[in-house]
Every structure is written in structure tokens, then in C-alpha cells.
Amino acid sequence: MFQSFFPRPKVFFLSAVAWFFVCLAIWYGFADGLADQLSLMREAMPTIEGERPPFLDPDKVWVYQFIVLATALFCVAWYFIDRNRWYWWAVCGSAVILLVSYFQVQLGVWLNNWYGDFYDLIQLALSEQGVSKITTEQFYGQLLTALYILVPNIIILVTFAFFTSHYVFRWRTAMNDYYMTHWQVLRNVEGAAQRVQEDTMRFASIMEGLGSAFVSSIMTLIAFLPLLWTLSTHITELPLVGAVNGSLVFLALMSAIFGTVLLALVGYRLPGLEFNNQKVEAAYRKELVYGEDSDERAAPPTIRNLFSDVRRNYFKLYFNYLYFNVFRYAYLQGANFIPLIALGPTFVAGVITFGLYQQISNAFGRVENSFQFLVNSWTTIVELMSIHKRLKTFESRIDTSPQAAVKPSLEL
């Protein structure tokens, strides 16, 4: 699954984590001293005191340059360490996905600040009925500042979607080539054709989606946790608890932990049922395929028994998803009201503006949603676990075969 696409998967991913912490140490230890010598655009788009910082102020430009440089150095290092056939997609392509995810998080931070100014302007306009306190130029000028960022982002998102589609297909191609190299060993495995044709595609697609979402969640937490902690200073107190430093951060964390534990407990049987579901489906499909070429196969009694197994497993799966979804949707709906309940005393005290509320609500939602990664992705994770289990069983034939494993090509 991984060794067919990534160079030395365990070493590769461990080195990526290690390099991340090395870059953090360099950033907090030496980056300030290097900014004047290495950063571009130090004098461009300066921050004006009292105004919202632009999307590309000098400090942010330096951060972006540092991240791009660190990512490029990591890719160059692996070019010489172990350059396999899929280097440009597996290493450089993964780096591009991470960089675009980081850009989207930074865009979210900028928009969160923009919400404060825009909704404060709305509050001012609506503060006294029949009296205009803002001009049309102010209103549309505020909208234009967001459009200057969001319209180019549309091009980025479209290009990124096109790129990730190719990334997933390259990963699938790598897995397909690897399995077909060992096809004589694998051909007698139950459902071998489906493993190669369908599971490789689904595994690559789900892994790319989940991996991007997980990294994006981590980046969102890094960017929004300090912001939410700062915004928590505007909260007078929490119901039943009182005043707590960083109250909204702890509230989002506790909500996510509760939801994750809850769904893990009620959904622990789902991966096994999904795995069994594919087994009975494969047996039923295989008998039908044999029946196309032989009159002696796919006899009605055999088909009835096989389809009975399919029906029985599906009904078990439906029942387990029934009570799983009861807890899942009840939790997700209740979580929508947590920030409103938490802000109740602050609303009553009248100490925040509409714009500040929008900032708090958006930042809290971002942080809580990132903490809820497992909750939001649980059904997808269940599907991935089922596919991984099938492919792992599939690959065990290769590991136990006397035929030596084929090393991925080092040619580009």
C-alpha cells in the first residue's frame, strides 16, 4: 500500500515529523535574525497601526518563505536519499498538498479577522433604524477587500482539485503495478480482482482525503488556538463555572474528547462488519462470475445461500449504524449550541460587538472542528480500516511467498 508509492515509507514519514520539529527549533531560535538578510518584500505592504493587517504583510511573507524553503529542502534531501519511480508525486506532490493546506488555513485566519471589521460595520449600520451611519462606499469597499483574496483562491482550489485527482490516480497506479508484479502469487486469493481493481482506488482516494484533512486540522489548531485563547479574554464567565482563562479553548477540547470517546464506544463493531461485508460480497460475486462460463456453477440453491449471507451481514451493519447515528447526530447537533450557551452571560452583559461575536464563533468552530477530526471522519475511517485490513491480508500472501519482493524502480 505504501511501499509501492513512497520511498522507504517508515523512514520517510518519521523523517518528515523529525524535520518538522527541527524547523520549529530553527524558527524560534534563529529565524528573527535571518529575516532581514533572507526575506523578500520586507518593506512591502507594511501594517498600518489601528488597521487590520493585510494578507501579505512583511512578517507573514517571511513565514511563508521559510515554510516553502524548509519544504523544498526536505524534497531535495529525498531526491538523493531514495529517488524511486514515483518521487515527483509521492514526495513533491505530498509537499504541494501540505503547502496548499497551509495556505487555506492562513486564509481562514485572515477571514476571521475580516469578519470582525465587516460585522461591526453591519452593526453600526443597523444600530439606529432610519439613520444611515455608513456609506455605500464603506460597505462595498469592505466586501472588495475579501474578494481580492477569495477570487484568486478559486483558481487555486480548482487547480488543487485537479492536482489531487492525478495524485490519487498515480498512487493507485503504483499499487496496481506492485500487485500485478506478484499476480501469480495473488490470483488465487478470494476477491483478488476486486482488491486490485477497486480497493487500490478507494484506499488511495481515502488516504489522500483523510491525510489532507488531518494535516489541515493540525495546522488549523496551530493557527487558531492562540487566536481563540486571545478572544476568550472577552468572555466574562461560563455558565455554572465562572471565569476561566482560555475558557473557549478548554470548552472546545472537552467537547471534542467527549464526542470522540462516545463514538468510539458505540462504533467499535463497524470495522469488522464492513470487512465481513466485503468478504460475503466477494464470494457472491465470484460465484456469479463462474456461472457466466459454466452451467454447473451459480446454481439457485448456492446463490440463495450466498445472498442470504450478504443480506444477513447488511442487516447487522444497518442496525449498528442505526444506533451509531443516533449518538453521532445527537452529539453534532448539540455541539452547535455549545458556543451560544457559553456566551450567554457575555451576551447578557452586553460587552461584545456583533463583529467580535462572529470572530469568536468562527474561531471556536474552527478549533472545535479540528479537535473533532475523528468524530467527523469516523465513518470514513471505518471504511479505510476495512480496506486496509483486506489489502493487508492480500499482501500477506506476498510476504509469505518464496518469490522475493520486487524493489520499486529507482528510475525516474
Residue 185 lies in a domain: yes
Cα separation, 187 vs 292, whole angstroms = 19
Same domain, 395 and 261: no
Averaged pLDDT, 278-306: 80
Task: Give start and end residues of each alpha helix (H) in 82-135.
Answer: 87, 94-126
Q: Is the pLDDT of residue 409 over 50?
A: no
Instruction: State which residues form the domain around 103.
Output: 1-234+368-411
Least confidently predicted of 46-55, 162-171, 285-294, 370-379: 46-55
Residue 344 lies in a domain: yes
pLDDT (tens digit, 9 = 90+) per residue, 106-149? 888 888 888 888 888 888 887 766 566 778 888 888 888 888 88
Query: pLDDT tier at 72 (50, 70, 90 boundaries)?
Result: very high
Least confidently predicted of 52-66, 79-93, 294-308, 355-369: 52-66
Q: What pLDDT, on a 0 to 100 scale, did the predictor assign at position 253?
A: 85
Same domain, 335 and 208: no
Same domain, 255 and 165: no
Q: Which of 268, 282, 271 is nearest to 394 (CA)?
A: 282
> Which of 300, 320, 351 is a domain's end point?
351
Q: What pLDDT, on a 0 to 100 scale, did the predictor assign at position 373?
A: 82
Residue 358 lies in a domain: no
Asked whether 86 and 174 are in contact (CB, 8 A), the reply is yes
pLDDT (tens digit, 9 = 90+) per residue, 138-182? 888 888 888 888 888 899 989 988 998 888 889 889 988 888 888
Residue 395 lies in a domain: yes
Cell numbers found for residue 291:
456461472
User: Between 101 and 39, whose confidence is greater?
Assistant: 101
Q: How many domains does the chain have?
A: 2
Q: What pLDDT, on a 0 to 100 scale, did the predictor assign at position 151?
A: 87
Same domain, 210 and 264: no
Cell numbers found for residue 49:
497601526
Please, what is the average pLDDT of the chain?
82
Residue 258 lies in a domain: yes
Q: Is the pLDDT of residue 411 over 70?
A: no
Asked whether 100 and 208 are in contact (CB, 8 A), the reply is no
Q: Is the pLDDT of residue 36 over 80?
A: no
Residue 361 lies in a domain: no
Share of the chain above pLDDT 70, in %: 89
- Let me know how many helices (H) and strands (E) the chain has, helices first: 15, 0
Cell numbers found for residue 197:
481493481
- Which span out of 7-21, 39-53, 355-369 was modeled with the highest average pLDDT? 7-21
Same domain, 248 and 138: no
User: Between 130 and 240, whose confidence is greater?
Assistant: 240
Cα atoms found within 13 Å of the Cα of residue 313, Cβ hemisphere only: 20
Q: Is the pLDDT of residue 408 over 80?
A: no
Q: Is the pLDDT of residue 324 over 50?
A: yes
Cell numbers found for residue 167:
495524485
Same domain, 289 and 227: no
Same domain, 28 and 58: yes
User: Between 406 and 369, whose confidence is greater?
Assistant: 369
Query: pLDDT tier at 405 (50, 70, 90 boundaries)?
Result: very low
Same domain, 166 and 280: no
Same domain, 179 and 39: yes
Same domain, 218 and 176: yes
Q: What pLDDT, on a 0 to 100 scale, did the predictor assign at position 52?
A: 60
- Which span out of 36-45, 98-107, 244-253, 285-294 was modeled with the highest average pLDDT? 98-107
Residue 362 lies in a domain: no
Q: What pLDDT, on a 0 to 100 scale, did the predictor assign at position 344?
A: 82
Residue 332 lies in a domain: yes
pTM for this one?
A: 0.74
Cα separation, 262 vs 200, whole angstroms = 31
Same domain, 339 and 213: no
Same domain, 263 and 378: no
Q: What pLDDT, on a 0 to 100 scale, did the predictor assign at position 33?
A: 64
Asked whether 27 and 197 are in contact (CB, 8 A), the reply is no
Cα separation, 4 vs 402, whole angstroms = 19
Query: pLDDT tier at 54 (50, 70, 90 boundaries)?
Result: low
Query: pLDDT tier at 15 (50, 70, 90 boundaries)?
Result: very high
Q: What's the chain's length in residues?
A: 412
> Which of 303, 324, 351 is a domain's end point?
351
